[in-house]
Chains A and B, each alone.
Chain A
Amino acid sequence: MMTGGASTSILTIALLIALNLLLLSLLIGLFRAWLGPSVEDRFSAVLLMGTGGVAMLLILAILLQITALYDVALVLALLAVVGTVALTQSESNHD
Chain B
Amino acid sequence: MIDTLAILAIFSGLFFFLSGSIGLLRLPDLFTRLHALAKADNVGLALVALGVIILEPAVINDIKIVIIWLLVMAASAISSHLVARHALRENRKDD
Contact = CB atoms under 8 A, between A and B. Distances in A.
Interface string B58-85: 1001001101100110111011001101
Q: Taking chain A's interface residues, is the majority helix, strand, or loop, or is none over half, making it mixed?
A: helix
B68 A18 contact: no
Contacts, number: 150
Contacts of A25: 14, 17-18, 20-22, 40
Majority DSSP secondary structure for residues of B touching A: helix
Given A26-B21, A54-B72, A62-B56, 12 more contacts: A15-B10, A18-B7, A18-B48, A21-B18, A25-B17, A25-B18, A41-B33, A47-B83, A58-B68, A61-B56, A73-B65, A85-B82
